[in-house]
Structure 1
Amino acid sequence: MTIQTHKRTCSLCEATCGIEVRHEDGQILSIKGDKDDPFSKGYICPKATALQDLHEDPDRLRLPMIRRGDEWHEVSWNEALDYTASELMRIRDQHGRDAVASYLGNPNVHNYGNLLFGPMLLKAIGSKNKFSATSVDQLPHHMASLQMLGHQLLQPVADIDRTDFLIIIGGNPLASNGSMMTVPDFRGRIKGIQARGGRVLVIDPRATETARVADEHWFIRPGQDIQLLLAVLHVWVHELSAQLPALPDYVTPADLSAICAGMTPEHAADRTGISAEAIRQLAGDWLSAESASCYGRMGVSVQQYGGLCQWLIMVLNIVSGNFDREGGLMLSHPAVDLPAILAARGSRGNFNRYQSRVRGLPEFGGELPVSVLAEEILTSGEGQVKALVTMAGNPVVSTPNSTQLVTALDSLEFMVSIDYYLNETTRHAHVILPPCGPLERDHYDLIFNSFAVRNVAKYAPALFPPDKGAKEDWQIIHGLLKRMGRGSLKTRLQGRLVLGIMGWMKPSGILNAMLKRGPYKLTLKQLKAASSGMDLGPLRPCMPERLFTRDRKLHLAPDLYLEELERVRPQLLAKNVEDLVLIGRRHVRSNNSWLHNSRRLIKGPRRDRLMIHPEDAERFGIAEGGTVEISSRVGKLVTEAEITEEVMPGVVSLPHGWGHNVDGVRLETAREAGGVNTNVLTDDARLDGLTGNAALNGVPVSVAAVSR
């Protein structure tokens, strides 16, 4: 055969970079950036090459597996699906619908077949105990969008290609390639801001990769971002009010003075480590910039004030006149407009319709905070979780207090995982249903086009045919649904009809229908012909038409935020600051836990070392490269120390997603890489009090040198 080139989108992170895969006779020869892609323009990060490793990985499961005792056995699809459906229905019938829980991992949003068919499986199960990676990640973003704009998926992003002043708080987009902001080649876009005379400021407890290329970096104590945000608002209201623009008519006003009461720059300086002078300078520069965008990410979200922080970031962008305008915070117009589609079906998002059984934490968007998953399994009584369905997720590595979750998973009556790896989580399952790999299915970005800094659309058919008998994720879900019929005759007939139509259309047919009804009236045929993708133009103003609130107003200060702010104000005014706290960190060659079996990505120096400032290393007697024990309320780890001024005093940093050397895991490359699971230390009791999102950053810890 001759060498061929296949163009598609890299599906491994949120940047959605265009790639060219050169292949011959079923073998991948190279993966490079697609220079004709109108969005990424040839840029890729090292993760793209992992697509080849995933495709060729000998550890990837190809056939269904059933565990009998401690041994795994390959079985036919019919046997695996029959057994799974039978066990799920048995437990549901014996213990009630809520006895069957589910957990969805991040890779689900990179797979549009899962997004279309997965909700049908969860609806068929009918349980309130639904969990996902959302509540250890971006839940505060969605809460702000729901409460202020009327839809949880209506996520504003920085118009980075036209902004003059970009403020990044608690984010490291050079390592993450953006996040809740689809933006390939972030380094190139920073250079673009600087080339046109703009400025980039990074505010973070660590001098990150992004901080190194920014114009300025300020250290901030973890968990104190809310103090900085309120202090900036205080300066605007009490010192620079004459410079504040009038709010647009579609924005409901708020008492800004009451919101920031007592939160002076001097007060914030005491708690953040940023001087009052610098805070005033930031406030003035923000207002005087031709255009400005503030972007807050993981460091802002996964902390005890995450919900308030993401709301305040929105408030500051709006009050400064930088919302829905070029260079400010704007909304994308994707070819498949998910918020509009879901809103037309009556689904905008929900909050606190019900609470978790044990701790009474609120639901959001039909899901409960994953921090309560273990206790819902381990606590006896009516509604106790007896079975679990996981889809493309590894909560043992990615959620807090993982030691407790391991105990919980071991106690389940039944567990099934739709996953192609035997990892730290799926080793507890009774059945593993492995889908085909990402190059063996077609691809379209339903979610990330909605968060893109430019309007684009791109579709790619499967590169390789799947192995004989292999199934895509949606086909596995379809097979389970056909075996799980319940309810009245009418309900069963309606369900079979819908399921039959969707199975006949397949994800590509459903996608084609959504594209035709979308704002650009595209067809799948048109996208197939544009193999490098279609440029649909820059972000454009859309307010108030794009609002989904019932009164068509943007609600600047919803009551639940004001009530939460008053609840925590005594904490904010107090002077107690933890002596030593733990934060996470990202690396461009990593993406949570699911890429650690890629030999291309894990090579190089060890990346799970504990970063510690020289002052802290000296007071605790820790040497460079020495063995150190880190302890928290819920666990302890032993790893290697890296003494560096990259972190501020009083802060230590460990990356997320490692720790694969446990019994029963079949990830040979990841096991050899070693590493420790930082979520042994994170605390399931530490949450954002408003949203229930896990507070994985700012965890109080102690450290001690360990004699070899």
Structure 2
Amino acid sequence: MPATVHHRACHLCEAICGLRIETDGDRILSIKGDPADPLSRGHICPKAVALQDIHNDPDRLRRPVQRIRGTDRWREISWEEALDSTAQRLVEITQRDGVDALGVYLGNPTVHNYGMMTHQKNLFRHFHTRNRFSATSVDQLPHHLVSLWLFGHKSLFPIPDIDRSAYFLMLGANPIASNGSIWTVPDVRKRIKALRKRGGKLVVVDPRYTETAELASEHLFIRPGSDALFLLALVHTLFADDLVAPGPLGAFTTGLSELAAALADFTPEFAAAHTGIEASTIRRIAQEFAQAGAAICYGRMGVSTQRYGALCQWAIQLLNILTGNLDREGGSLFTLPAVDQVSSIGPGGFARHHSRVRQLPEFDRELPASAMAEEITTPGTGQIRALFVGAGNPVLSTPNGRQLDAALAQLEFMVCLDPYLNETTRHADIILPPTSPLEHDHYDLAFHINAIRNTARYNEAVFAKPEGTLHDWEIFTELGNRVAALLGQPAQPVTAPHEIIDMGLQIGPYSERQGSVHALTLDKLRENPSGIDLGALQPQLPDRLQTADKTIDCATPQALADLDRLRAAFSAGDSGALRLIGRRHVRSNNSWMHNYHRLVKGKERCTLLMHPQDMATRGISDGDRVHLSSRAGSVTVAAEASTGVMPGVVSLPHGYGHGRPGVRLHTAARHAGVSCNDVTDDLALDVLSGNAAVNGIDVEVALA
């Protein structure tokens, strides 16, 4: 019997590469890139091949489990018991102590599963708690906030049009390892090489000589946490050297004179003293950028997850706007997805309420994840007593993970929607495991909005749903129905995720209703399982703007007010301490990637990169065990000598720390490593946005 071919998208990172999966019955024979996919063009990375490890993983839970109170032992229970018990406990606790007694944390795999995105409301419509958290505030919150302020919507992200660009200035990003982030750009290596081949220039600014920097025209080391000074000095130079030329954007852009005055003292000389980049180099970069004709400034994790993350993202967009490179081919453009969330969901909001203990601002009805532990442990009205965790492992992924680890043990009730018994879910009372990713259909609801090209793709499940299992969206639906019954409310009719997508397609920009030649429907996508090409990104402003007056106000009041904090911090001088940064590997994304042998094989990757000069000063040799410590805690890890990090900087990867008791991840345990978030500090924040500052924190390193 010939093999059956299935078309699929890899959901393990933002690149959403198209796949051809061959199966024989319930066996996977091969996983290869789909050359007919208009976005990924046949490209895949090692993560895609590991999809079979996920599906076949013996550690993956197939049935609900309940922890036997007071022990680390678990027993399998029926879905009826698991769902009934969970609904009962959530209702009991919130009726007794108020709705804010329920906390919710959703991890980033949530946005890789469109059923979780479309159906979580079936449960949470009953619990309008203020204690909601997610991975957003240890990741991309500054992007959302700046998009809300400048463009009027949290999801209006300008996307780098690298395929038509002449000049690319990249900060704190390593797309060769990440495949793009807030930038869905499969096969980025070939795209960078094509940029260079046609005479374009890539300038990478990063404290580490990354895999992407190896392909760049120029790499500049920068002191971690000082990126905002560098970026604002570039903007200052545009004004000082009469390089401001917004072009067509000028007709609907305001606040330039106020902006110029506010940045008068953010000179290249001031930046040079703190960044390690010479003033003459800063002026040259500003001139090159302004005169390139089609240029991009883009920054990602390294500039978002620091104390001035929102100012960094604001300054990046100012550079693009003031040089006319926003909404320009070869610059940064907005996408127009087939299911357009910008048109269908609210724009988001900021600081409408604040956390109970530290008064940290909400964004889009979520509080900063750095506040979660204190909201569990601090007594009083609104204290979190029950916690719902969906597809997340915050013990390893949020700052001061040990503090959160201890806090979770104090909860009265905890339920996790997750396929694993991991560092976080080991504290749960009940774990509700969903089907395998290959057992449900797939549509990339989140990442088409970040894509280098407008495309659409829908794929059926590779394998039938096994008897006695539930999809994520079915778990949310069943819990919501049970809560409704306990509250004496009628159950609401439920529309399946694929039906929601079909409705979105039929009212979207490529629908017959909108007069599009594509006339997209779900059936049409089914007929084209490799996806349909909807064309290159195009200028859309001012129509695409969601601001009330269809203008871009560059003099963002909140950002201008935060300049005093930046100015004062760097005027006080540098502590001289080592600074910690993270790093990414193409075989990893988060902690959930470490239980698959295809992704962890090879050289051990959880090491502390140190410059030989810093090692010699401390009497440390390559391979020595060292103590890495901060205010929040310490870990012991092997030091690895590297001239790829600048002096004064150390680098530790994210997502490790699998050595805790009670965890059922056998492959990950053999590559346990240490958690960088046992050293990162829950008190270190970007005050403007509330985002965690996990990069650029002061640390000490000593021989163990």
TM interval, short-chain normalised: over 0.9
Which residue is 1:7 aligned to?
A: 7
AA in 2 matched with 1:327: G
AA in 2 matched with 1:658: Y
Which residue is 2:545 aligned to?
A: 547
**2:94 is matched with which residue: 82, 89, 92?**
92
Task: Quickly say closer, same or farther: Cα 1:200–1:408, change in 2 above 3 A.
Answer: same
Residue 571 of structure 1 deviates from its aligned partner by 1.7
Residue 144 of structure 1 deviates from its aligned partner by 0.4
Q: Deviations over 1:577-629 (max 9, x none)?
A: 44211000000000110110011000000001000001100001110011111
Residues 395 and 425 in structure 1, CA contact (< 8 A), matched pair in contact too: yes
Distance in 2 (alpha carbons) for counterparts of 1:295 and 1:486: 49
Residue 122 of structure 1 deviates from its aligned partner by 2.2
Within 5 Å, which residues of 2 pair with 1:691-702? 691-702=689-700
Distance in 2 (alpha carbons) for counterparts of 1:488 and 1:449: 38
Residue 244 of structure 1 deviates from its aligned partner by 6.7
Distance in 2 (alpha carbons) for counterparts of 1:408 and 1:487: 29
Q: Deviations over 1:206-254 (max 9, x none)?
A: 0000001111111000000011011111211112347675752111233
Residues 337 and 454 in structure 2, CA contact (< 8 A), matched pair in contact too: yes
Within 5 Å, which residues of 2 pair with 1:291-310? 291-310=294-313
**2:281 is matched with which residue: 267, 278, 290?**
278
Q: What SS is found at the alignment partner of 1:249?
A: helix
1:28 equivalenced with 2:28 (yes/no): yes
1:46 equivalenced with 2:36 (yes/no): no
AA in 1 matched with 2:181: S
Residues 97 and 126 in structure 1, CA contact (< 8 A), matched pair in contact too: yes
Distance in 1 (alpha carbons) for counterparts of 2:580 and 2:463: 43
Which residue is 1:144 aligned to?
A: 146
Q: Deviations over 1:179-214 (max 9, x none)?
A: 001110110110111121101110000000000111
Within 5 Å, which residues of 2 pair with 1:613-624? 613-624=611-622
Residue 485 of structure 1 deviates from its aligned partner by 1.4
- Measured on the aligned residues, the alpha-carbon RMSD in Å equals 1.2
Residue 550 of structure 1 deviates from its aligned partner by 1.2
Deviates more, 1:192-201 or 1:569-578: 569-578
Which residue is 1:403 aligned to?
A: 402
**Identity rate, percent:** 51
Which residue is 1:210 aligned to?
A: 212
Which residue is 2:503 aligned to?
A: 513
Residues 236 and 244 in structure 1, CA contact (< 8 A), matched pair in contact too: no
Q: Deviations over 1:69-89 (max 9, x none)?
A: 221000000000000000000
AA in 1 matched with 2:320: N
Which residue is 1:664 aligned to?
A: 662
Distance in 2 (alpha carbons) for counterparts of 1:40 and 1:439: 19
Q: What SS is found at the alignment partner of 1:637?
A: strand
Which residue is 2:674 aligned to?
A: 676
Q: Which structure 1 residue ranges, 5 or more long, are not aligned? A: none
Task: Quickly say closer, same or farther: Cα 1:634–1:242, change in 2 above 3 A.
Answer: closer
Which residue is 1:231 aligned to?
A: 233
Distance in 2 (alpha carbons) for counterparts of 1:284 and 1:290: 11
Q: Deviations over 1:428-471 (max 9, x none)?
A: 00000000011000000011001111000000000001221110
AA in 2 matched with 1:277: S
Distance in 2 (alpha carbons) for counterparts of 1:577 and 1:226: 18
Q: What SS is found at the alignment partner of 1:484?
A: helix
Within 5 Å, which residues of 2 pair with 1:279-678? 279-342=282-345, 347-485=346-484, 492-493=489-490, 496=491, 499-500=492-493, 502=494, 505-521=495-511, 522-678=520-676
Residues 271 and 577 in structure 1, CA contact (< 8 A), matched pair in contact too: no
Distance in 1 (alpha carbons) for counterparts of 2:244 and 2:687: 35
Residues 237 and 256 in structure 1, CA contact (< 8 A), matched pair in contact too: no
Residue 124 of structure 1 deviates from its aligned partner by 1.6
AA in 2 matched with 1:77: W
Which residue is 1:256 aligned to?
A: 259
Residues 425 and 431 in structure 2, CA contact (< 8 A), matched pair in contact too: yes
Task: Quickly say closer, same or farther: Cα 1:554–1:257, change in 2 above 3 A.
Answer: closer
Task: Quickly say closer, same or farther: Cα 1:247–1:573, change in 2 above 3 A.
Answer: farther
Residue 4 of structure 1 deviates from its aligned partner by 1.3
Which residue is 2:202 aligned to?
A: 200
Which residue is 1:703 aligned to?
A: 701
Distance in 1 (alpha carbons) for counterparts of 2:567 and 2:124: 39
Residues 123 and 483 in structure 2, CA contact (< 8 A), matched pair in contact too: no
Q: Which structure 2 residue ranges, 5 or more long, are not aligned? A: 512-519
Q: What SS is found at the alignment partner of 1:648?
A: coil
Distance in 2 (alpha carbons) for counterparts of 1:296 and 1:251: 22
Distance in 2 (alpha carbons) for counterparts of 1:570 and 1:610: 31
AA in 1 matched with 2:311: L
1:186 equivalenced with 2:188 (yes/no): yes
Distance in 1 (alpha carbons) for counterparts of 2:353 and 2:387: 20
Distance in 2 (alpha carbons) for counterparts of 1:636 and 1:268: 32
Task: Quickly say closer, same or farther: Cα 1:52–1:423, change in 2 above 3 A.
Answer: same
Which residue is 2:514 aligned to?
A: none
AA in 1 matched with 2:303: V
Task: Quickly say closer, same or farther: Cα 1:113–1:203, change in 2 above 3 A.
Answer: same
Q: What SS is found at the alignment partner of 2:212?
A: helix
Residues 50 and 595 in structure 1, CA contact (< 8 A), matched pair in contact too: no
AA in 2 matched with 1:287: A
**1:130 is matched with which residue: 129, 132, 135?**
132
Q: Deviations over 1:105-158 (max 9, x none)?
A: 000001111110013322222110000000000000000011111110111111
Distance in 2 (alpha carbons) for counterparts of 1:390 and 1:244: 45
Residues 146 and 348 in structure 1, CA contact (< 8 A), matched pair in contact too: yes
Q: Deviations over 1:561-590 (max 9, x none)?
A: 111113432223332244211000000000
**TM-score normalized by the length of structure 2:** 0.97
Q: Deviations over 1:48-96 (max 9, x none)?
A: 0111000000000000001112210000000000000000001001110
1:175 equivalenced with 2:177 (yes/no): yes
Distance in 2 (alpha carbons) for counterparts of 1:517 and 1:239: 47
**TM-score normalized by the length of structure 1:** 0.96
Which residue is 1:101 aligned to?
A: 103
Equivalenced residues, count? 693
Q: Deviations over 1:279-323 (max 9, x none)?
A: 111011001102000110000000000011101101111001101
Residues 9 and 17 in structure 1, CA contact (< 8 A), matched pair in contact too: yes
Q: What SS is found at the alignment partner of 1:21?
A: strand
